[in-house]
Amino acid sequence: CYDNEAYMNTGIQRSGLTPLATNTTTSPSGTLSFGNPRPKKPLPEIAKAHGIPYVATASVGYHQDLQKKVKKALSIKGPKYIQIHCPCPLGWRHEPSQTIKVARLAVETGLFPLVEWQDGTISVRKIQPKPVEEYLNLQARFRHLANFPEVIKNLQALADANIKRYSLAMTSEPEGVG
């Protein structure tokens, strides 16, 4: 699943994968609206619930992880599902040169966890969590949230819930970092 969080090629309309509070052409923000009123659908969880033997998320910000997961999926019999998170500079309104940074921040904030389930066993990419505002501030599709601080808190709560749910946080500094 190519996840750019909206229907980008037809005018940046809201989709089931559009995150909460995103400004799109069909969920515009304004003085009375913070944008998309619904959270992103958890498609990997839905796929997992259907008993698919291999379900994973990947990001263009971590290309080696993406390649590894595609190779693994190809080696497994039966249905597979990989959701690949890919920022859209035009629709997300960020500089194209920032695409990898934006993709990595989605993961590092916990908003887009990198997880993998094979036959029910989960593995995750551990992170040193960063505040969601670092991610939001790079994208004009979230610029309106300066007027909705409670929504930023809600987005942080969603990220924190992902971090807890999937045990994403590193428990200590990794070796060689410092």
pLDDT in tens, 129-145: 999 999 999 999 999 99
176 domain residue, yes or no? no
- The domain that holds 137 is classified in CATH as 3.40.50.970
6 domain residue, yes or no? yes
175 domain residue, yes or no? no
**Mean pLDDT for the stretch of residues 36-64:** 97
pLDDT in tens, 56-101: 999 999 999 999 999 999 999 999 999 999 999 999 999 999 999 9
What lies within 8 Å, CB to CB, of 76 at 6+ separation is: 53, 54, 118
How many structural domains is the chain composed of? 1
Query: What domain range is 70 assigned to?
Result: 2-28+35-166
